[in-house]
Amino acid sequence: MSRFPSDSAAAQGLTSCPTCERLCQSNERTCPRCGTKIVVRKPASIQKTIALLVTATVLYFPANFLPIMRTEQFGNAQTNTILSGVITLWGHGSYVIASIIFFASVLVPIAKMLVLFWLCWSVTRARQHCQGQRAYLYKLTETVGRWSMIDVFVVAILVAMVQLGAALSIQPGPAALSFAGVVAFTMLAASSFDSRLIWDSLAKEETQA
Amino acid sequence: MPSGFTHAPSPKHAERVACPSCDLLVDLPELEEGQRAHCPRCQHHLALSPRGGVVRPLAFAITGLILFIVANSFPFLSFKASGREQVMNLAQAATELMRHGSPTLACIVLALILIGPALSLACIVFITTPLALGKRFVGIATLSKLVFRIGPWTMADVFMIGVLVSLTKIASLATVVIGLSFWAYAGFALMFVATMASLDRRLLWQRIGDPSK
Ligand SMILES: [Zn+2]
Ligand SMILES: [Zn+2]
């Protein structure tokens, strides 16, 4: 009984180079074309993904509860968290922008972490279903992730632009860095997950059939 | 009946690949210009036969780099409130964070919006210029690896959306004037996306080829 489904490259002793996608022999040490190390499956993929996800989860709390920026206007200081920023925008009638920020900064990071945790858990199960849907979900988390950085850039631009001394100034808050960390660590987690693990479960069905 | 008919040649296959996303072995068909190939099992995008080969991404990348220089040479936005005016240039999106006590964040922003995208485009110019002339050079594989490694970390397009969100956030506080640099960076972001979309990973590596051969 093979660990890999019979129509997969791994079952034939072949591996796609992770950098240039050349079909290499699995026992080759490095890709003859680009020199990248050849691995049949990413080593310790699930452990690495979970470690990175835990880091992102820990950072998610300061990112959401600490202020992301501080506005000083004629001596009055006002702090904003990610969520209070969304509420303010909504209150001013900028529904589209408020929705974009809510989606990119609040919903996407948490959904992405949950999906990746669930994928890590699901590939270790004995019986697995819905390979196609899980592969699609994984692809979605991979593509959508970078767009969460919007809020970090908003802080960077506002801090650079709004510096009128005592009249009006904006300072970055501690949540900005934590939030950038959440986005970066979930992106790293997504890239360390090996999506081929989702399909390897088909090997078990083949032997049962 | 000619004997060739009974032994019809098997359909012409460009290359056998393993889907990087699900590991299925796939025989890629010969693609016509502008055609794409997807994995039959997981729908992963496997190959694109780009129109214009490597010349098109080269042209996009050069245009992008010129716009990048313009974007760094003029005011990005200026901001008027309470009788005072402040002019912001592009690099200040990072350097002002440094001045206000967030040096780590400043470096992250600098890398994501300026260094990363510009470095990518510069590498692509260095890679595709000799390829378009049918030449190769030592180190081309290293540069190409770098481009794909930093791919997801280049955020020119995300930054542009960030700028639009910032504008709506402060529109109520003051008058904002959009500078020449703003339009140049918007063009740069567009060229960046176009370069990446017209560059096919498989085709590029095929052109680079095996150094042993
Ligand atoms: Zn390779
Ligand atoms: Zn596939």
For residue A92, what are its two tokens?
């001013």
Q: Could you tell me the pLDDT band of residue B135, with boundaries at 50, 70 and 90?
A: confident
CA distance B95 to B103: 8
Report the residue of chain A nearest B152, measured CA to CA.
A146
Q: Is residue B4 part of a domain?
A: no
pLDDT at site A125: 85
Q: Could you tell me the pLDDT band of residue A203, with boundaries at 50, 70 and 90?
A: confident
pLDDT at site B12: 55
Q: Is residue B186 part of a domain?
A: yes
Q: Which residue has the tokens 């990005």?
A: B76
For B34, the domain range is 13-48
Q: Is residue B5 part of a domain?
A: no
What is chain A's percent helix, strand, coil content, to nearest 5? 60, 10, 30
How many angstroms does the Cα of residue A45 sit away from the middle of ligand 1? 20
CA distance B73 to B185: 11
How many angstroms does the Cα of residue B14 sit away from the middle of ligand 2? 18
Average pLDDT for residues B176-204, to the nearest whole number? 93
What domains sit in chain A, N to C, each tagged with a CATH number? 1-40 (no CATH), 44-208 (1.20.140)
Could you tell me if B25 and B129 lie in one domain? no
pLDDT of A163 > 50? The answer is yes
Could you tell me if B172 and B198 lie in one domain? yes
CA distances from B55 to A37, B75, B114, B118, B207 (A): 30, 32, 24, 18, 12
Q: What is the DSSP letter of B113?
A: I
CA distance B150 to A117: 25
Q: Could you tell me the pLDDT band of residue B7, with boundaries at 50, 70 and 90?
A: very low
Q: Which residue has the tokens 């109520």?
A: B172
Could you tell me if B30 and B81 lie in one domain? no
Could you tell me if B108 and B149 lie in one domain? yes
CA angle A113, A94, A165 (to 5 degrees): 95
Could you tell me if B188 and B113 lie in one domain? yes
**Residue B172 and residue A92 in contact, taking contact as beta carbons nearer than 8 Å:** yes
CA angle A193, A198, B17 (to 5 degrees): 85
pLDDT at site B4: 37
Q: Which residues contact A135 (CB under 8 A, 6 or more apart)?
A: A195, A198, A199, B21, B22, B42, B44
pLDDT at site B13: 56
What percent of chain A shows pLDDT beyond 90? 65
**Residue B109 and residue B94 in contact, taking contact as beta carbons nearer than 8 Å:** yes
Into how many domains does chain B fold? 2
**Residue A25 and residue A41 in contact, taking contact as beta carbons nearer than 8 Å:** no
What is chain B's percent helix, strand, coil content, to nearest 5? 55, 15, 30
Could you tell me if B113 and B203 lie in one domain? yes
A8 vs B15, B25, B153: nearest CB: B25
**Residue B117 and residue A181 in contact, taking contact as beta carbons nearer than 8 Å:** no
**Does residue B17 belong to the interface with chain A, where contact is any CB pair within 8 Å?**
yes
Beta-strand relationship, B175-178 and B75-81:
antiparallel
Q: Could you tell me the pLDDT band of residue B8, with boundaries at 50, 70 and 90?
A: very low
CA distance A143 to A145: 6
Give the start-end residues of each E strand in B44-192: 45-48, 75-81, 84-89, 175-178
Helix H or strand E segment including B71: helix B55-71
**Does residue A181 belong to the interface with chain B, where contact is any CB pair within 8 Å?**
no
Average pLDDT for residues B25-37, to the nearest whole number? 86
Q: Which residue has the tokens 């490095």?
A: A30
Lowest mean pLDDT across A9-18, A85-94, B112-121, B156-165: A85-94
How many angstroms does the Cα of residue B39 sit away from the middle of ligand 2? 5
Average pLDDT for residues A97-106, to the nearest whole number? 89
Could you tell me if B75 and B161 lie in one domain? yes
Could you tell me if B42 and B123 lie in one domain? no
Could you tell me if B25 and B121 lie in one domain? no
pLDDT at site B9: 43
Could you tell me if B103 and B193 lie in one domain? yes
Q: Which residues contact A76 (CB under 8 A, 6 or more apart)?
A: none
A-interface mutation test, from B15, B22, B78, most A Cβ less than 10 A away: B22
